[in-house]
Amino acid sequence: MIWDRGMESMDRARLRELQAKRLTWTVNWARERVAFYRDRLPPLRGEGPAILDWLTEVPFMTKQDLRDLYPLGLLAVPRHEVRRFHASSGTRGKPTVVAYTEHDLAMWAEVVARSLAAAGMQPGETLQNAYGYGLFTGGLGLHMGAERLGVAVIPASGGQTERQVQLLVDLKPEGLSCTPSYALYIAETLEQMGLTRDALHLKTGIFGAEPWSENMRRRLEESLGIRAVDIYGLSEITGPGVAIECAEAQNGLHVFEDYFYVEVINPRTLAPAAPGELGELVLTTLSKEAMPMIRYRTGDLASLNPEPCPCGRTMVRISRIHGRTDDMLIVRGVNVFPSEIERVLLDDPALTAHYQLAWEGHAARPELVVEVEGRGDPAPDTASIQHRLREALGVHVGVRIMSPGTIPRSQGKAARVVNRMREV
């Protein structure tokens, strides 16, 4: 179902006009109210859609700008107009805080409502929302959007996994939203409780907030009896609902371009990437009041697909997120993304989807070891896994088959990489 056909299937020439109008509004709004933007934005130039070309002259923003301006240096409204704060956990350094006005919260609910509809949910159905509630945007973001769509919410939040399964069985929700790694843990717990997918009424999984592979999708669809779609977003821009796959194609995520202007750049040269070419996503908000973001480098790697989609949405698609520029591992000079390793492991029926990547050895000569749980039957063939990883990654990595239940389970975003290196 297309929740807002007028917008989501809009003619692209009209869409560009709307984007230009909203970009002009955003730039004027930001410049009048935030010293940071007043100092860095060049004067607006051009008429109509040409204004979008002006954007290429604007310097990029990064997470560092948010850290430097912590906590509220980018706030563009008086404090009393803020209705909500969220914050990142700060696992990669100082936390960042984001703020929303009432209008921003309504826009966010709207894009999540569109997302859930694109995923296949219908008004009157029920969603079990197992994204964490709190400062993380996953819980409250999905919650508001579901209510906007007319879907009942079970605000389960993350954790208490047996109770999650019990709720899935007893309340019969049609939808489950959580990280793909947590969905895997829920599926495993279902099995451990002696139940199968027949005890569930699920038909849709709305999974995101971390990278995952097609093979992981297949396994989750199979074990939970669902159609699973990928949802993308980030707190700096709003939260979940910046982009979503449609259930029809399950092939790339439609960006809600009437609210978010998307560019993909080569992270080294900063030049625009061609369609289909992998690069860094850069996003500009087009209607946000409390904290407009202009040319924000997300650190997320994906490509653009401007081809029309069978679902009827005209909004451009991005590929799955391959990973973050700062999640990339460098193994003896070769760039390796954890999602690439996941793809290879999950292609092997002898392996479970529980894995982690450990840095071992001396800090001066680190070794990457892939630890993965085997199923037991058939027995995993370590040499062949190692060979396939080498083929895919272009570099040798160690492989260690672990017994069932030994890799830590995730209840939110999975921590894939552990450090066991000895200092020199």
Residues found near ligand DLL in the complex (CB under 6 A): 88, 131, 136-138, 208-211, 230-235, 239-240, 298, 300, 321, 324
| Shortest Å distance, C-beta 404 to ligand DLL | 27
32: left (phi over 0), alpha (psi -120 to 50) or beta: alpha
If 0-12 CB within 10 Å is exposed, 13-18 middle and 19+ buried, where does residue 232 land? buried
Name the residue among 179, 274, 161 with its Cα closest to residue 231: 179
Cβ-based nearer residue to ligand DLL, 31 or 297: 297
Cβ-based nearer residue to ligand DLL, 97 or 168: 97
d(CA 206, CA 43): 41
Cβ-based nearer residue to ligand DLL, 100 or 131: 131
| Shortest Å distance, C-beta 233 to ligand DLL | 4
Cβ-based nearer residue to ligand DLL, 228 or 385: 228
Pairing state between β 239-245 and 334-336 = unpaired
| Shortest Å distance, C-beta 322 to ligand DLL | 8
Residues 6+ apart with CB under 8 A from 2: 8, 9, 114, 117, 118, 311, 312, 313
Phi, psi of 200 (to 5 degrees): -105, 165
Q: Nearest to ligand DLL by Cβ — which residue?
A: 208
Cβ-based nearer residue to ligand DLL, 216 or 286: 216
Cβ-based nearer residue to ligand DLL, 20 or 242: 242
Question: Hey, which residues does 254 pair with through a beta bridge?
Answer: 244, 317
| Shortest Å distance, C-beta 356 to ligand DLL | 17
Q: Do residues 223 and 248 touch, judged by C-beta distance below 8 A?
A: no
| Shortest Å distance, C-beta 166 to ligand DLL | 23
Cβ-based nearer residue to ligand DLL, 54 or 131: 131
Q: Do residues 142 and 129 touch, judged by C-beta distance below 8 A?
A: yes
Buried b (16+ CB within 10 A) or exposed e, 57-89: eeeebebebbeebeeeebbbbeeebbebebbbe
| Shortest Å distance, C-beta 211 to ligand DLL | 4
| Shortest Å distance, C-beta 156 to ligand DLL | 14
Cβ-based nearer residue to ligand DLL, 18 or 105: 105
By three-state DSSP, how is residue 7 classified? helix
d(CA 8, CA 119): 14
Cβ-based nearer residue to ligand DLL, 16 or 413: 413
d(CA 346, CA 138): 26
User: Computed from CA positions of residues 336, 420, 360, 391, in that sequence, does the dihedral angle turn out positive or negative?
Assistant: negative
| Shortest Å distance, C-beta 142 to ligand DLL | 7
| Shortest Å distance, C-beta 130 to ligand DLL | 11
Pairing state between β 304-305 and 317-318 = antiparallel
